[in-house]
Structure 1
Amino acid sequence: MVLTSSPIQAPVAVVSGGASGIGKAIAEKLAAAGAQVIVADIIPAEEGSKIAYFPCNVTKPDDITAFYAHISETYGQPDILVCCAGQGIHEKLTEGDPDKWQAVLDLNIMGALRLIRAFTPGMLEKGAGDVVIISSVSAGQPYPYGGVYAASKSALNILAETLRQETLPTLRVLTVAPGVTQTSFFENTISGYNTVESIGYGALSPEEVAQTVLFALEQPRHVSLNHLTVRPTPQPF
């Protein structure tokens, strides 16, 4: 099955954090399914990539404004918005650095909110669309050193459900909560020390998470999958 927006035009998909990891896998799956994909990221585009790229730090309002202007002028309003940009942090609440916490909250929560605020009005005007928010199994799961990260993902879950209620029946809103995934996430975690191997549950591939997203998007418009959890089978939470 391929994605369709109209008989003559490929759907336009915007993917934040789409230059690496889960975001990159989602961008590639969407492109392979027939979408015209534009990636927004601070990581430079891969040489030779056929997916369009726009340098954008989603924590910076001016970057969001420039990105939105580029999309609307070049492609029109998107059919699919994927909010994937994010970062982990592993710090004890009694010892950690609040400035680092603020940076993670700005990226994980405000980055998604800025994209939603910029793009969803046009999607509503267009009359249909999908918003995908990449959360985590950490949402609603308190654990030592994970309070700030888990709180940021819990916030995304609440925001996604609020957005769904505010925009139905025009937009479908999907939250995907991956478990342990084999990406550079742990290497880029602030103050983190975990690895896929040290966690010990095995790991999903980014492509497996992306396939979950594609499955939801390919459902008929009257079918809305709103929250999907995908994790390695041995993972207990």
Structure 2
Amino acid sequence: MQELKGKKAVVSGGGSGIGRAIVGKLSLAEVTTAIADLQPPSNLPTNVYPFTCDVTAAPAVDAFFTGVHEKLGTPDMLICSAGRGIHEKLTEGDPEKWRQIIDTNLMGALRLIRAFVPGMLEADHGDVVLISSVSAGQAYPYGGVYAATKSALEVVAETLRQEVLPTLRVTVVAPGVTDTAFFRNTVSGFHTAEDIGYGTISADDVADAVLYALSQPPGVSINNITIRPTAQPF
């Protein structure tokens, strides 16, 4: 990961799960990293700066942007990993809960893109990574709202790629069932990684995929990575 040494990154959802694993890998690669999370962890490496930030709230994102620029300046990498799940039937679910998912999974990433990407363009280099899901484009019962946010996120990613090329690279990483607290923290639902029955990949596996994309030579873009348990059929 010598290519990443000395760079600066922003990671939303960096306090747990896939985001935390990405932060750990970046730290080991000697990347100075700012975390945006509702509950940032303590006891972080000295090159990681935690910020309490709700990515669904414009004032919180504005404050995070200001704090990052005071500590790091313009980042070289923006990694949007903050997300929540929901498992509800469309004819019975709670629209206010749906709004929480849309605000976190989609609007949160859009707010961060709007905040940080202009500076990255001005700096004439950078990477944007969006953590999606194999659920994108995959309709399944009780998963409509969650899958819709990830489908929309991938459209945003491709739109952004076209708008910022050749200056910035844009990567979508779409994990399958991952061994994190994701299912325990869904807004509503009853699934666990175990009862889905396909096995799991680890958060570190996903983080390795992210760093693979980031460590490519400047003229090489890895735009889409799907990573899942071998037994997972979709």
TM-score, normalization: structure 1?
0.96
Shift of 1:2: 2.1
1:3–1:35 Cα contact (<8 Å) kept: no
Q: Secondary structure at the match of 2:51?
A: strand
Query: In the alignment, does 2:27 pair up with 1:31?
Result: yes
CA contact (8 A) 2:14 2:40 kept: no
Length, aligned pairs only: 232
Q: CA deviation at 1:146?
A: 0.1
1:67-106 residue pairs with structure 2 within 5 A?
67-106=64-103
One-letter amino acid of the counterpart of residue 107, structure 1: T
What residue identity is the alignment partner of 1:39?
I
Question: CA 1:3–1:30 in 2, change beyond 3 Å: closer, same or farther?
Answer: farther
Using the aligned pairs only, state the percent identity.
60
Runs of at least 5 residues in structure 1 that lack an aligned partner in the other structure: none
State the shift of 1:45 in Å. 1.6
2:3 is the counterpart of 1:3: yes
Amino acid at match of 1:193: F
CA contact (8 A) 2:36 2:52 kept: yes
The one-character-per-residue Cα deviations of 1:88-137 (angstroms, maximum 9, x if unpaired) are 00000000000100111011100000000000000000010000000000
User: Does 1:49 pair with 2:44?
Assistant: yes
CA contact (8 A) 1:88 1:185 kept: yes
Q: For residue 228 of structure 1, what is the aligned residue in structure 2? A: 225
Which amino acid in 2 is paired with 1:154?
Answer: S
User: 4+ residue runs of structure 1 moved beyond 4 angstroms?
Assistant: none
Q: Which residue of 2 aligns with 1:190?
A: 187
Q: Structure 2 unaligned runs (5+)? A: none
Among 8, 12, 22, the alignment partner of 1:12 is 8
Within the candidate set 156, 160, 163, 1:163 is matched to 160
Q: How does 1:172-187 map to 2 (within 5 A)?
A: 172-187=169-184
The alpha-carbon deviation at position 191 of structure 1 amounts to: 1.6
Q: Alignment partner for residue 61 of structure 1, among 50, 53, 58? A: 58
Partner of 1:204: 201
Letter of the 1:3 counterpart: E
For residues 198 and 3 of structure 1, the distance between their equivalents in structure 2, rounded to whole angstroms, comes to: 40
